[in-house]
């Protein structure tokens, strides 16, 4: 690398250390070494790209995003070649930096106007920014120039999905599948487009293309056959929100005849899951088992087509001695006092679409200014807006502590993150704020959740319109105070 030749010896040593760590698969060590050089040479996009790619491989998407954003803010893009700019744009899209990707693609567009791959990438960037009409215009142009390109057909499907036009998305996916059969990302997109319309066997089958954890040594995959007293390990995968969502299916394994169940879960969740009567162990710990199954494969393997098990909510609790929180009846303050509500305005920064999911600062400020609400901040690692009056408890990283605190409040207001799933699984009154294109599990429309009876869903009416959502929250809080917002019974559909 030219940077190494022109750098002082210590920088060259850091680069060499990073390259050695990458070769050995020690991605986090490599990322730290490369980022050390990038901090000293922020204008060097080549080093920033190395650091970001290593952080991405280490599972630290937010860190990768920050490295690229810092470097791109000071780099001379005019001196960047088209090839480098395009490759950096692709990496920006992969780590959730669509604005930076679009800036880079505009550099490419000056010398390659109308190139179909460039148009497709620009469509993806606009989609990730919530500019869906512009994204569709670009996707149409790209496909018109290259009608047999499966990547562009997939992009068109993804844009149509984001616009909530699911039949058209499926039609584009059919074309992509015809050109490139058995392509994992295409099948996964089809899973998302099917599942957002309701859980079905075909949707769960496609969902198997998400990438599943490896089979533990000594185990065989469970494919849904009779368990007949055999032991089974449920493998942790994806995030804590997915764990809280899908753990409802674990007790069915015993009901279907499993002799012993071992549930893998992160350390931060073990005390909560064990308090809920679930056989939770850290990954790799616990008794050996004959069978294994990924957690998110349970609906398919159990054959629960169309079932959300909403009638079993709540299925998490704060103590084995406590009765589960009731999921029907009236909910609101017991006396003439402000509503005491937990607030979760953002989630894991490593989430790809964090820019669309998290509340922006104006919307958050508007929420915190709502009258007759005493907010409790439920983010342990992110400080609230300075100068705002709200309770900021000393939260640990134990989800049991968070569950206990939530249970002492009147309810929770949250974006789509693990805390929302926890509140729903506890059966607590919960208002979930959703972006225009929601995650598949929330369905495309409506205020009810098929998965959590104690929830109400508040959706953006147009992309990137959080300030209007804050105004709608104020209307719903009036109903909450009158104990009518959460006067509900179980729900079985979207």
- The span from the CA of 197 to the CA of 123, in Å, is 24
Residue 74 and residue 42 in contact, taking contact as beta carbons nearer than 8 Å: yes
Q: Are 377 and 393 in contact, with CB atoms under 8 Å apart?
A: yes
313's tokens? 């909510």
Q: Are residues 409 and 342 in contact, defined by beta-carbon separation less than 8 angstroms?
A: yes
> CA-based diameter of the chain, in Å?
72
| Cα 54 to Cα 37: distance, rounded to the nearest angstrom | 13
What does pTM read for this prediction? 0.92
Helix-, strand-, coil-residue percentages of the chain, each rounded to 5: 50, 10, 40
Three-state SS string over 100-164 comes to: HHHHHHHHHHHHCCCCHHHHHHHHHHHHHHCCHHHHHHHHHHHHHHCCCCHHHHHHHHHHHHHCC
DSSP for 343-366?
A: EE----TTSTTHHHHSPPHHHHHH
Sequential pLDDT tens for the chain (494 residues): 444 444 577 888 999 999 999 999 999 999 999 999 999 999 999 999 999 999 999 999 999 999 999 999 999 998 888 899 999 999 999 999 999 999 999 999 988 888 999 999 999 999 999 999 999 999 999 999 999 999 999 999 999 999 999 999 999 999 999 999 999 999 999 999 999 999 999 999 999 999 999 999 999 999 999 999 999 999 999 999 999 999 999 999 999 999 999 999 999 999 999 999 999 999 999 999 999 999 999 999 999 988 999 999 999 999 866 655 554 445 555 567 889 999 999 999 999 999 999 998 889 988 998 889 999 999 887 777 766 778 888 888 899 999 999 999 999 999 999 999 999 999 999 999 999 999 999 999 999 999 999 999 999 999 988 888 888 898 888 888 877 777 544 443 33
């Amino acid at each position: 690398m030219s940077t190494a030749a022109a750098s002082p010896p210590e920088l060259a040593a850091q680069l060499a250390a990073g390259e050695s760590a990458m070769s050995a698969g020690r991605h986090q060590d490599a990322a730290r070494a490369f980022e050390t050089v990038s901090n000293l040479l922020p204008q060097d996009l080549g080093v920033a790209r190395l650091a970001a790619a290593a952080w991405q491989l280490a599972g630290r998407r937010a860190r990768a995003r920050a490295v690229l954003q810092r470097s791109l803010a000071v780099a001379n893009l005019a001196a960047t070649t088209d090839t480098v700019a395009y490759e950096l744009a692709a990496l920006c899209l992969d780590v959730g930096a669509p604005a930076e990707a679009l800036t880079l693609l505009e550099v490419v567009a000056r010398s390659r106007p109308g190139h179909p791959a460039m148009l497709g990438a620009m469509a993806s960037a606009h989609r990730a920014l919530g500019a869906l009409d512009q994204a569709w215009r670009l996707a149409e142009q790209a496909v018109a120039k290259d009608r047999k390109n499966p990547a562009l057909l997939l992009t068109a499907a993804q844009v149509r999905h984001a616009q909530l036009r699911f039949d058209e998305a499926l039609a584009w996916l059919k074309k992509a599948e015809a050109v490139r059969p058995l392509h994992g990302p295409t099948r996964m997109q089809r899973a998302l487009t099917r599942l957002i319309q309701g859980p079905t066997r075909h949707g769960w089958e496609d969902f198997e293309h998400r990438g599943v954890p490896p089979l533990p040594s000594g185990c065989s995959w469970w494919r849904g056959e009779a368990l007949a007293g055999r032991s089974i390990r449920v493998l942790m995968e994806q995030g804590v929100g997915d764990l809280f969502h899908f753990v409802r299916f674990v007790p069915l394994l015993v009901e279907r005849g499993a002799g012993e169940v071992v549930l893998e879960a992160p350390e931060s969740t073990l005390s909560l899951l064990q308090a809920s009567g679930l056989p939770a162990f850290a990954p790799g710990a616990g008794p050996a088992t004959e069978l294994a199954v990924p957690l998110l494969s349970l609906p398919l393997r159990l054959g629960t087509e169309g079932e959300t098990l909403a009638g079993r909510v709540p299925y998490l609790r704060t103590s084995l001695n406590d009765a589960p929180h009731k999921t029907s009846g009236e909910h609101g303050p017991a006396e003439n006092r402000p509503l005491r509500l937990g607030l979760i305005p953002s989630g894991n920064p490593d989430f790809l679409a964090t820019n669309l999911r998290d509340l922006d600062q104006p919307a958050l400020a508007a929420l915190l200014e709502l009258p007759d609400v005493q907010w409790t901040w439920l983010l342990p690692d992110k400080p609230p807006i300075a100068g705002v009056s709200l309770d900021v408890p000393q939260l640990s990283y134990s989800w049991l502590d968070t569950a206990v605190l939530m249970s002492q409040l009147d309810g929770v207001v949250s974006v789509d993150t693990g805390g929302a799933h926890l509140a729903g699984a506890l059966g607590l009154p919960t208002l979930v704020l959703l972006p225009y294109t929601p995650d598949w599990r929330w369905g495309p429309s409506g205020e009810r959740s098929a998965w959590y009876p104690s929830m109400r869903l508040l959706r953006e009416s147009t992309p990137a319109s959080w300030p209007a959502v804050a105004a709608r929250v104020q209307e719903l809080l009036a109903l909450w105070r009158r104990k009518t917002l959460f006067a509900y019974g179980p729900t079985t559909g979207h």
